[in-house]
Structure 1
Amino acid sequence: MNFHTRKWIKPEDLNPNGTLFGGRLLEWIDEEAALYAIIQLENPKTVTKYMSEINFASSARKGDIIEIGLEPIKYGTTSLTLKCEVRNKMTYDTIITIDTIIMVALGEDGKPKPHGKTQIEYQKDRMAK
Structure 2
Amino acid sequence: MVELRETRIQTRQRVQPDDTNNYGSAHGGMVMLWMDEAAAMSAIRFTGEWCVTAHVDGIDFRAPVPSGDTLYLDAYVYDAGRTSCKVRLRAYHEDPKTGSRTETTDSTFVFVAVDDNREPMPVTTLECSSEESEQLRAEAFAAFEE
Q: Please confirm whether the aligned pair reaches a TM-score higher than 0.5, indicating the same fold.
A: yes
- Number of residue-to-residue matches in the alignment: 119
AA aligned to 1:93 is T
Structure 2 match to 1:107:
115
SS of residue paired to 2:55: strand
Structure 2 match to 1:123:
none
Equivalents in 1 of 2:21, 2:79: separation in Å? 34
CA shift, 1:3, in A, is: 5.7
Q: Which moved more, 1:109-118 or 1:48-57?
A: 109-118
Q: Deviations over 1:87-124 (max 9, x none)?
A: 111152111111x210110123322100223237xxxx
CA shift, 1:65, in A, is: 1.3
Structure 1 match to 2:134:
none
Q: TM-score, normalised by structure 1?
A: 0.83
CA shift, 1:46, in A, is: 0.8
Matched, 1:52 2:60: no
C-alpha RMSD over aligned residues: 2.0
Matched, 1:93 2:102: yes
Structure 2 match to 1:22:
28
Tell me if structure 2 keeps the 8 A contact 1:88–1:95: yes
Structure 2 match to 1:75:
80
Q: TM-score, normalised by structure 2?
A: 0.74
Instruction: Give the alignment partner of residue 40 of structure 2, picking from 34, 38, 45.
Output: 34
Instruction: Give the alignment partner of residue 89 of structure 2, picking from 84, 88, 94.
Output: 84
Listed as ranges, the gaps of 5+ residues in structure 1 are 121-129
Equivalents in 1 of 2:78, 2:10: separation in Å? 16
Q: Which runs of 4+ in 1 moved over 4 A?
A: none
Equivalents in 1 of 2:65, 2:25: separation in Å? 6
Percent pairwise identity = 25
AA aligned to 1:101 is F
Structure 1 match to 2:144:
none
